[in-house]
Structure 1
């Protein structure tokens, strides 16, 4: 995880992972720009958006990478998640295969991403609950078992989305603070006072002729 402590608002890299057509792009566009389209075009490789938010008085920036879900782009995944602070794994409540894919992504992240990466799972398209094929309680238990948070979202109805990104940003900020606090401080040497003096002119000779 990036532990850069430069002045200015903290920035956290968030990568979205999941199969094609689960609604990753729709979630991001709804969150960042508050727009939704039923005919959202598929993402090619990845797209990038940013969002600033205030967490208990601290302004943070989410740097959001929306990755392509098509299998032919899978090999590009590590480029985006290897140095990510957090990953949002998205699946479609109507498609069991997309939830299986989330499990596979988690295994891959455990092997190749930062050990400090924050995980969240979104059960998207909850507006189509009548066609739901996923046991949400099972999904919640799975999320808990891997230290992730589980959310039920709908980009179309704009439900659950603010909570997802706020939770991710909040946990990322807490993680950043804890890592900074754990950094070793410079030990002070006891019993010594060091005074930096500016060099003066060379001493004049007092020898008599």
Structure 2
């Protein structure tokens, strides 16, 4: 068996309101770059990166979905067959945290039954503008059986830990198309036209 054949693929989908920084998190993780202003995702974009967890090579196939309401109906195409869903909110926006809860409810009813969840409070570099208390978000994550991280794509805070930890929780026997759950329920970019906005 070649080294390439030993690489396990893990499908990761990023979900959340527009402007919470999903694209910035994916970009930081895959390329270690950050752009203060990035283009708005249309539909979804795709990136990938191989990580090593406990000596095992895992290829994170990251689907970064659009947060605008008009693209919401497309989301099931991207979270279908996902092993991991990372629900992202902007810790300076209480509204984005409420939107995250809507995504969680949708995944519970329409997503893969055994999907592994993470809640990520992004933009932790903007502490003076915080609207979502860490304890409140942690309690919510615990309630839905999700891992919890506060991240900053700008400062590269907990970004690699987020993706690597979630990929590492995928059962060894699962494939990208499988649905599964573990006891501790504890995202190539497509060339699509984009509009500019802050993320």
In which range does the TM-score fall when normalised by the shorter chain? 0.7 to 0.9
Q: Distance in 2 between matches of 1:167 and 1:55?
A: 8
Indicate the residue corresponding to 2:66 in structure 1: 68
CA-to-aligned-CA distance 1:42-75 (integer Å, 9 cap, x gap): 1111000011011111111110000000111000
Q: Which has the higher strand share?
A: 2
Q: Which has the higher helix share?
A: 1
Indicate the residue corresponding to 1:151 in structure 2: 149
Superposed, 1:53-132 pairs within 5 Å as: 53-132=51-130
Aligned residues: 172
CA-to-aligned-CA distance 1:134-160 (integer Å, 9 cap, x gap): 011011011011110110100000001
Indicate the residue corresponding to 2:160 in structure 1: 162
SS for the counterpart of 1:40 is strand
Indicate the residue corresponding to 2:30 in structure 1: 32
1:10 aligns with 2:8: yes
SS for the counterpart of 2:125 is helix
Compared with structure 1, are the counterparts of its residues 175 and 86 closer, same or farther at alpha carbon in structure 2 (3 Å cutoff)? Answer: farther
* Alpha-carbon offset, residue 10 of structure 1: 1.1
CA-to-aligned-CA distance 1:12-55 (integer Å, 9 cap, x gap): 11000001110000000000001111111111110000110111
Q: Which has the larger radius of gyration?
A: 1
Normalising to structure 2: TM-score of the pair? Answer: 0.83
Where structure 2 has 5 or more consecutive residues not aligned to the other structure, the ranges are: 179-199
* Alpha-carbon offset, residue 173 of structure 1: 3.8
Normalising to structure 1: TM-score of the pair? Answer: 0.79
Where structure 1 has 5 or more consecutive residues not aligned to the other structure, the ranges are: 1-6, 180-209
Q: Distance in 1 between matches of 2:79 and 2:159?
A: 21
User: Higher relative CO (CA 8 A, sep ≥ 6), structure 1 or 2?
Assistant: 2
